[in-house]
Structure 1
Amino acid sequence: MLIIKNVQGTENALKTIDDLTLTQTLGAIDQLTFNFIDNSDNKVASELVMPRSIVTVPENNQQYMITTPTITPLGRHRQYAVTALHVGQTLHDRYIDKTLTKTQSLDACMKFITQGTKFAYEIHDKFSNYAFSEEFGNARGDDLLTTLASDFGFEYYFDNFKIHVYKTIGKDNSFLFVDGSNVSKITDTEDYSNFSTHIKGTGKTTDDSDGKKSSAITAEYTSPLSDKFGIIDADPVSDERFTTSASLKDYLKKQIKDYPEVQYTIEWADFSKNAKYHNLNDIKVGNSGYLKDRYGIDVSVRITELVYNPQSSTVTPQITFGNKLFNLTTWSKAITKANKDNSKFSNKFKQDLTALESISNSAYDSRLFGEVVGESEY
């Protein structure tokens, strides 16, 4: 069952629905999809499907605004395929034509983008003030929130019309998935497309005596893995916030990707109360835990996407994991191990080839001199 309410406040229940799916992705607005037929159970509620209507899921008490209904004739009835986005999306409704400048606190910025809206916010961690090199504003509220998340370095999620801000969403050690126990298959996909080992940057600029601007603060960073892969340049960074080379260099270290971007997916998992490791498994976007299999995967990962039916425990959820924190030392050791293993394989191949040549030569000599080199069944 879902509750649907139009902009006038009229509400009714969709009693029979199909294919209810909630997609939650880290750093994105939640999406709800479902189907229903305007039969006797749903006739009145179907008439409430109109622009800006809100659907509430009783299981999580979250609200979703209908954005795309597709209506198809089905005999005497009509079938609805509905897509709705979390009401956090309505932060996009307001265009903020004012601006903030200079150094601001996160609290001041959040107040700036939520003032005059339904939205409230709560900042759960401490954040340093941020110095804007340009004006902050003249954009839609949701775009400004995304900008703040990047500038201040935070993550957030919506609880209906309340924005919760954390340095990092989720809890550690929240789940354990073991191949053959509560997972049937772990698949990992590695992306090397943004791989780089070197980056340059410029920070605060000052005016020369002749009135021209020149870069006063510069820094660059070279990854230790450049010894193995060579110099691969990332796009240079220019950011007026940095007034020292040291702070700029620390920032540059975080901008290059000298490791593969790894994404893990599981094909099946049992989340029932009787499942193995059930007490360890707290499945929420942002939570971190461990994946283990028989082929060498033993990693700390973070849930980046969860696709599930909030009203059914029998529908298999789909979970996508990403690196919680990539360990450069671990990967460097993996590279060294791969090189050693390859060297061992090469050496063994050479030894096997030498032995094979010896046997072949012995067999050839026996044909010339009549020596017995093995038993024959003839």
Structure 2
Amino acid sequence: MAIVAVKDISGIAEPLPGFSVTRSNGIEGEKTLSVIGLKTGVNQHGYKLVKNENIILYKDEEYIIKTHKEKTYNEGLGVEVTALHRIFDDLINHRIYEEKSGTLRIEAMLDFALKGSGYTYEVDKTDLPTSVKVENFGWDNSLALFRSILEKFGAEFDYVGKRIFIAKKIGAKKDEPFLRHRYNVSDPQKEIDTSNFATYIRGYGKQNEDGSYVVQAEYTSPLATIYGIKHAEPVKDERFTDKESLLAEMKSKLGDNIDISLTFTAVELANMGFKDVNKGDYLWCVIDPFDINVQLRVLTIEDYSNDKKPPVFTFGSVTKKASDLIADFNTTKKTVDKVIDSSTGTIKASALNTAGLALKTDLDAHVKNTDIHVTAAQKASWDSKESGGTVAALEARLTNIAWASPTFKNNWTQYTDASGSYPVQYGKDMVGTVVLRGVAKGGIIGTNTPVYTLPAGYRPMYPHHFTGPAGVGFIYTGVIKTNGDVCIESSTNTTANAFIAINTQFKTN
């Protein structure tokens, strides 16, 4: 079980043993907790602190309690709360009392919007505009200004602690393996939506003083040859001064796609061959009956404090407000109108190729053929063997880690005392969680003097900040960089490097 604790506004912290946590991590930046627990003799002190505006501590991050519901159960008194990552609370309560105008780069706008907030940032400028023109930007809270920057530059964000990461798109595009209808996706038609479908769009870039445009363009989707011209809202954006960039923006806004939503657990994805799936990643989905291939995006990841319960991944489009959640719609043989009946919202029978399919009489005969079917007892026996015999054995396989010993650097060595050695090791489970453990000593403290360096495949997507014990009553702060360097930044121990217990975990990139 992952450890959960609560802290009040004065800084008093108490653990919450017996409490369960569900964390939702969404593509639009929201990260929330749902926390449930019963009051017991063990957690009674922490239970009293579970109140609005107090802080839930979970997996090295802080969440502010926003809703609180207490009620009685058969087992006694219990509480349910939801908590929002503190970045939103911090930024909405931090205000900028000045403004800027002109053509600004994204770094200048971020420095301005986050000034004095305590938050820092990193920007991947790939595919982002060099600068944008703004008028009277400011006189608002930092969260509103930050959201405005993302909208103006067409960017997304993620964050760890007080470090914000900004890019055109977070996540990666994976070519293989893929989700496939009738192979590992059973019912994609449950969530198909063409209400925003369009095939034609115009675009207008920077405007001259005489009212003409520096650049303008139009684009017609290949689907228009059969479906007809369906006008989309035109793009009018002062950022664009060349046709190529304007066309790319127009195509991203044009709704010539199908919205599909699919949900899988981490165990299901692992069984399909996916071992490293992160928020924002794109995975190919092949739907043979419709002759279409789409790249579905990981929109949300829901994980749990109960480490025996696998995380749940939702792919595709759940809400209509994020038009870019389905990317690169591609069809060559059939069109959307041949798939969906717009009057009923259901799939047309004509969309399915019935050539060569069995008749009902064939199906009846097949079902009654006892020679070719597996009995329930046989299936249970085979499933048991495949899974290692028990559910516990399957869970053991999912959490099994092959440990490796790193090469120490910068005078760091293995710590040993009278009770024995605590070997410094690292490893990774089958769902991509990297785990570090062990105690080191004697090396050089600093952000550029790593204890050791993790190899490729064991490195975090973003810098991973963590803390740990530096001896009895002392703590240290550390960081694992994206290049694999495991560094100890500072220690409260008078002998800073005498005892450094490196115990942390994260998802690989």
Asked if these proteins are the same fold (TM beyond 0.5), I'd say yes
Aligned to 1:197: 199
C-alpha deviation, 1:13, in angstroms: 0.3
Contact kept? 2:7, 2:14, Cα under 8 Å: yes
| Residues in 2 aligned to 1:286 and 1:245: alpha-carbon distance in whole angstroms | 28
Query: Quick one: which of 215, 231, 242 aligns to 1:233?
Result: 231
Change (3 A) 1:175 1:68: farther
Higher gyration radius (CA) = 1
Q: Structure 2, unaligned stretches of length 5 or more?
A: 318-324, 340-348, 357-509
C-alpha deviation, 1:88, in angstroms: 1.8
Change (3 A) 1:175 1:162: farther
| Deviation per residue, 1:85-112 (Å, 9 max, x gap) | 1122122222334222211111111111
| Deviation per residue, 1:117-144 (Å, 9 max, x gap) | 1211122445443222433223322222
Change (3 A) 1:71 1:303: same
Aligned to 1:353: none
Which amino acid in 2 is paired with 1:107? Answer: E
Aligned to 2:252: 254
Q: Which has the higher helix share?
A: 1
C-alpha deviation, 1:30, in angstroms: 0.6
Structure 2 SS opposite 1:107: helix
Contact kept? 1:175, 1:288, Cα under 8 Å: no
How many residue pairs are counted as aligned between the two chains? 334
C-alpha deviation, 1:239, in angstroms: 2.4
Contact kept? 1:181, 1:276, Cα under 8 Å: no
Aligned to 1:145: 146
Q: Structure 1, unaligned stretches of length 5 or more?
A: 349-378
Structure 2 SS opposite 1:252: helix
Contact kept? 2:223, 2:335, Cα under 8 Å: no
Contact kept? 2:259, 2:326, Cα under 8 Å: no
**What percentage of residue pairs aligned between the two structures are identical?**
25
Query: Quick one: which of 284, 297, 304 aligns to 1:302?
Result: 297
Change (3 A) 1:319 1:175: farther
Which amino acid in 2 is paired with 1:190? Answer: I
What TM-score comes out, normalization by structure 1 length? 0.75
Aligned to 1:134: 135
C-alpha deviation, 1:82, in angstroms: 0.8
Mapping of 1:107-122 within 5 angstroms? 107-122=107-122
| Residues in 2 aligned to 1:343 and 1:25: alpha-carbon distance in whole angstroms | 33
Change (3 A) 1:224 1:290: closer
Aligned to 1:223: 221
Aligned to 1:105: 105
Q: Which has the higher contact order (CA 8 A, sep 6+)?
A: 1
Which amino acid in 1 is paired with 2:54? Answer: S
Which amino acid in 2 is paired with 1:25? Answer: G
Mapping of 1:267-346 within 5 angstroms? 268=265, 270=267, 276=271, 280-291=274-285, 300-313=295-308, 315-322=309-316, 326-328=327-329, 330-335=330-335
C-alpha deviation, 1:254, in angstroms: 2.4
| Deviation per residue, 1:192-213 (Å, 9 max, x gap) | 11111122343333444xxxx5
C-alpha deviation, 1:21, in angstroms: 0.9
Structure 2 SS opposite 1:41: coil
Contact kept? 1:307, 1:319, Cα under 8 Å: yes
Aligned to 1:242: 240
C-alpha deviation, 1:326, in angstroms: 3.9
Structure 2 SS opposite 1:205: coil
Aligned to 2:83: 84
Change (3 A) 1:70 1:26: same
C-alpha deviation, 1:172, in angstroms: 3.7
C-alpha deviation, 1:68, in angstroms: 0.8
Contact kept? 2:97, 2:139, Cα under 8 Å: yes
| Residues in 2 aligned to 1:291 and 1:222: alpha-carbon distance in whole angstroms | 25
Change (3 A) 1:134 1:226: farther
Change (3 A) 1:153 1:175: same
Aligned to 1:13: 15
C-alpha deviation, 1:258, in angstroms: 1.5
| Residues in 1 aligned to 2:355 and 2:184: alpha-carbon distance in whole angstroms | 38
| Residues in 2 aligned to 1:304 and 1:129: alpha-carbon distance in whole angstroms | 27
C-alpha deviation, 1:322, in angstroms: 2.2
Change (3 A) 1:77 1:342: closer
Contact kept? 2:178, 2:286, Cα under 8 Å: yes
Which amino acid in 1 is paired with 2:65? Answer: I
Aligned to 2:24: 23
| Deviation per residue, 1:44-78 (Å, 9 max, x gap) | 11222234321112xx3222111111112447953
| Deviation per residue, 1:172-223 (Å, 9 max, x gap) | 4397466799967463522211111122343333444xxxx56665433322
Which amino acid in 2 is paired with 1:157? Answer: D
Contact kept? 2:293, 2:331, Cα under 8 Å: no
C-alpha deviation, 1:244, in angstroms: 4.9
C-alpha deviation, 1:32, in angstroms: 0.5
